[in-house]
Amino acid sequence: MQGLPKTDKCRVAGTGATSGYLGKEQYLTRGGTNSASSGMKPIFPCDVPRARGLLRWVRKEGGFVHQSVKIAQVDPYGLGLVVSDEIPKGSDLIALPHHVPLQFGSIETDLGDGAYSVLANLARQVPEELWAMRLSLKLLQERAKTASFWWPYISNLPETYSVPIFFPGEDIKNLQYAPLLHQVNKRCRFLLEFEKEVKQALENLKPDDHPFGGQDVDTSSLGWAMSAVSSRAFQLYGKELPDGTRINIPMMLPLIDMCNHSFSPNAEIIQEKVLGNPKMLVVAGTQIKQDEPLVLNYGCLNNDLFLLDYGFVVPSNPFDCIELKYDGGLLDAASSAAGVSSPNFSSPAPWQQQILYQLNLDGQAPLLKVSIGGPELVEGRLLAALRVLLSNDMERVHKHDLSTLKSLSVEAPLGISTEVAALNTVIALCVIALGSFPTKIMEDESLLKQNVSGSTELAVQFRLQKKSMIVDVMRDLTRRVKSLVSKESDTSRS
């Protein structure tokens, strides 16, 4: 029996917007996979009576569902799993036999029929970071079949999704956060380009070789499938390689993927083998009270990923952060605003440059993306760089290893004055980041009280949480600065 990492979970079904931006004058339409152009079987809005058929199907296929586990409306997420009676810790809640999860299989060979070969060739063209699209192809293939084994599951998938690729163009702009805007536009561009690849691959195929039964596949159907997979799939352990490492395989786990998210989960997923075949279990991680929903931890993710893949935002997310580019000019501006003078940001001394190289902030292929927020509060590489660049004492710096210089819990390793300068520079970076948002927190809060669309509400919630997180970081760092200044003052008086 083997427990799965918390970050292996993906899920959430929201209500989609009326249309989604795919670049200039190009949109994903709501329910696009139901259109006449796609010709695929329709997905109807989920309801409890039809969803209960999924329970019966899982049990019919040899799966186990605890008698107290029910499908019900769980606000604000929609359909989810709820327990009707108290369940003790350690109890098995759901078990799926190996043939029930929906997975793509291997794309490393062309073994199988012509339709699978076409699908495998298309999957090879999908970049690794968009792994959800590979499984999406399998999902669309099964949806196109007249008698798919997985139809009781597929028919219960949401008709629409609340991920940003379905937002109207104006609401994508309403996100107001460049790193997320970049990711949304990147996915939209990929869908447009991949639609062309799919249509080209399907041209002049024999009917038996057509992976989608002769039906058309467009950006709307691709977007729907990718959203279904990214919001519901699990990356589970696959076959073991000769060196002992395992290949993670994305899978859709019927019924299990109706568990919602919490950073304080009451259930966990376990993968075990029975007679050589994998079996997926959901086990009660705590005692679960009557009428409580089943919740899993989808992972220690920031709100960018929650919104991109799952279509929701976590308020006061302890893992939320902002991304910045490590740049000498930006640091000069921040330090100047903070009243800190240092020529080393743009022109570090050779010994400082060597440390920047070790931090992968300098050199031939540096990683210049740094973050503020989350559990670290200040990413260790950024903190170490500021401490080093604001110090002129090379010998003192070299007395510490990188792990010490990167840790905020190590108080003032290079002296109080250097630490105060470093923290004030980070506070100034936060001020600059806040200033990059066109609206203020009070304006966002006021807008949320109005009758706005679902996509507008999500966009405003996202940017509001980013700003609130930045303010919280500033408050924390300001307290640290005051404490350091007080200690320095006490030391000088004594």
Chain segment 93-143, per-residue pLDDT in tens? 999 998 999 998 755 444 456 677 899 999 999 998 898 999 999 999 999
Between the CA of residue 397 and those of 252, 357, 383, 401, 417, what are the distances in Å? 50, 15, 13, 8, 14
Average pLDDT over residues 281-292: 96
Q: Kindly report the number of other CB atoms within 10 A of residue 96's CB atom.
A: 23
d(CA 251, CA 63): 16
**Range of lowest pLDDT (20-24, 116-120, 386-390, 410-414):** 20-24
**What tokens appear for 50 in the block?**
């039809």
Distance of alpha carbon 81 from alpha carbon 293, whole angstroms: 6
pLDDT of residue 79: 85
Token pair listed for 411: 């108080």
Indicate if the pLDDT at residue 340 is higher than 90. Answer: no
Give the residue-averaged pLDDT of 247-261: 90
Model pLDDT, residue 316:
95
Residue 60 tokens, joined: 């019919």
51-63 pLDDT, tens per residue? Answer: 889 999 999 999 9
d(CA 178, CA 369): 13
Q: How many CB atoms lie within 10 A of CB 90?
A: 10
How high is the pLDDT of residue 112? 53
The pLDDT value given to residue 142 = 94
Least confident interval from 254-258, 334-338, 487-491 = 487-491
- Cβ-proximal residues to 410 (8 Å cutoff; 6+ apart), any chain: 404
pLDDT-based confidence at residue 171 (cuts at 50, 70, 90): very high
Q: Would you say 183 and 307 are in contact if contact means Cβ atoms under 8 Å apart?
A: no
SS3 318: coil
Average pLDDT taken over every residue of the chain: 86
Strand partners, 271: 2, 280
| pLDDT of 390 over the 90 cut | yes
Per-residue model confidence (pLDDT) at position 241: 63
Q: What are the sequence ranges of the domains in the chain?
A: 46-310, 321-492
Integer Cα distance of 153 and 45 in angstroms: 13
Is 366 a residue whose pLDDT tops 50? yes
- Would you identify the CATH topology of the domain 321-492? set domain protein methyltransferase, domain 2 (3.90.1420)
CA triple 343-348-354, angle to 5 deg: 160
Do the domains 321-492 and 46-310 match in fold?
no
Beta strands per DSSP E along 225-274: 234-240, 246-252, 260-261, 267-274
Predicted confidence at residue 34, as pLDDT, reads: 37
Residue-wise pLDDT tens digits, 207-226: 888 999 999 999 999 999 99
pLDDT confidence bin for 169, thresholds 50/70/90: very high
> Does residue 273 come out as left (phi exceeding 0), alpha (psi in the -120 to 50 range) or beta?
beta
Label residue 204 by pLDDT band (50, 70, 90): confident
Confidence of residue 28 (pLDDT cuts 50, 70, 90): very low
Q: Which residue in this structure is represented by tokens 């699978």?
A: 116
> Would you list the DSSP string of 326-353?
--HHHHHHHHHHTT---TTTTS--HHHH
Above 90 in pLDDT, residue 430? Answer: yes
* Total-model pTM: 0.87
**Superfamily of 46-310 according to CATH:** set domain protein methyltransferase, domain 1 (3.90.1410.10)
The whole-angstrom separation of Cα 57 and Cα 255 is 10
**Per-residue pLDDT at 415 exceeds 60:** yes
Q: What angle do CA 115, 119, 124 make, to 5 degrees?
A: 150
- The whole-number average pLDDT for the span 187-211 is 93
Are 208 and 115 in contact by the 8 Å Cβ rule? The answer is yes
Residue 409: the pLDDT is 95
Mean pLDDT of 294-307: 95
Count of other CB atoms within 10 angstroms of residue 76: 9
Instruction: Give me the torsion for CA of 370, 371, 372, 377, rounded to 10°.
Output: -100
* Per-residue model confidence (pLDDT) at position 76: 73
Closest by CA to 257, choosing from 277, 235, 236, 231, is 231
CB neighbours (10 Å) of residue 180?
Answer: 23
What are the pLDDT digits (tens) for 450-463? Answer: 999 999 999 999 99
Residue 270 in contact with residue 300, Cβ under 8 Å? no
Asked if 233 and 54 count as a contact pair (C-beta separation under 8 A), the reply is no
Is pLDDT above 50 for 14?
Answer: no
Peptide bond just before 76 cis, omega within 30 deg: yes
pLDDT band at residue 490 under the 50/70/90 scheme: low
